[in-house]
């Protein structure tokens, strides 16, 4: 059973831009979103999860659909709300993909994990050494944007810049926005990111504010 001070909880994020050529992401984004609901168990070494798949046209992938270690096992239920169709689905993750990390019962997926057009968010809790191995393996399989820690007993929290803000700051740093003199402009960054100039400018200001606040909070000399 997972308990005690050795438990850790983290939030793993990956922007969609880094996943857009992954066949699993391409298949998943035939739908609007995939939201984690519960862990079902281990079957023949494979991890099974219950998720809610939301679509506009009602076309959820058929049972037995398989893409690179992920299989749709069963559609348990289907219902509609206005223009959306919701599907309660059992998915299976192959043991040699990530399933084997859950065999010992010392690693769990948490509420808030989902996949949308914004990217992947995976929230997990578990024993420290198991999580280290899991995170290392995940990084070898998908391009992880960032990993943030839970805060005390408050559960998973998103500290600092949002995923989009993180992406904007990272691009700005890469192309010399923070150099003197600057090697790029807001217009150039906007073109590279596929965003408007006003959005890039706003996201930079907000991200920089979060980064500075976090730095001051952790500065030993701050008052």
Domain boundary assignment for the chain: 7-149, 163-217
Segment 144-170 shows an average pLDDT of 65
- Strand partners for 148: 11
- 36 confidence band (pLDDT: 50, 70, 90): very high
Segment 43-62 shows an average pLDDT of 90
Q: What is the Cα–Cα distance from 31 to 72, expressed in whole angstroms? A: 14
The larger pLDDT score, comparing residue 141 to residue 215, is at 141
Token duo for residue 44: 């023949």
- Strand partners for 35: 52, 114
Cα–Cα distances in Å, from 134 out to 9, 127, 129? 12, 11, 9
The larger pLDDT score, comparing residue 90 to residue 6, is at 90
Q: Is the pLDDT of residue 154 over 70?
A: no
Q: What is the Cα–Cα distance from 175 to 202, expressed in whole angstroms? A: 18
Q: ∠12-146-139 over CA atoms, to 5°?
A: 70
Q: What is the Cα–Cα distance from 107 to 213, expressed in whole angstroms? A: 32
Average pLDDT, the chain: 82
pLDDT computed for residue 159 by the predictor: 53
3-state secondary structure of 128: helix
pLDDT computed for residue 86 by the predictor: 93
Q: ∠110-27-68 over CA atoms, to 5°?
A: 75
Report the predicted TM-score, pTM, of the whole model to 2 decimal places. 0.64
């Amino acid at each position: 059973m997972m308990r005690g001070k050795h438990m850790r909880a983290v939030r793993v994020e990956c922007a969609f831009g880094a996943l857009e050529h992954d066949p699993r992401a391409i298949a998943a984004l035939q739908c609007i979103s995939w939201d984690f609901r519960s862990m079902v168990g281990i079957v023949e070494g494979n991890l099974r999860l219950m998720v809610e798949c939301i679509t506009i046209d009602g076309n959820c992938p058929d049972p037995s659909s398989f893409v690179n270690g992920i299989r749709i096992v069963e559609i348990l239920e289907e219902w509609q709300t206005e223009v959306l169709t919701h599907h309660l689905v059992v998915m299976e993750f192959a043991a040699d993909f990530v399933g084997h990390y859950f065999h010992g019962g010392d690693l769990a997926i948490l509420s808030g994990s989902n996949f949308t057009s914004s990217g992947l968010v995976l929230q997990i809790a578990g024993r420290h050494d198991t999580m280290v191995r899991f995170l290392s393996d995940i990084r070898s399989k998908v391009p992880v944007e960032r990993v943030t820690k839970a805060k005390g007993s408050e559960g998973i929290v998103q500290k600092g810049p949002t995923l989009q803000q993180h992406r904007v700051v990272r691009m700005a740093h890469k192309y010399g926005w923070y150099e003197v003199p600057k090697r790029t402009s807001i217009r150039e960054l906007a073109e590279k990111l596929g965003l408007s100039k006003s959005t890039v400018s706003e996201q930079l200001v907000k991200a920089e504010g979060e980064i500075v606040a976090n730095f001051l909070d952790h500065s030993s000399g701050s008052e």
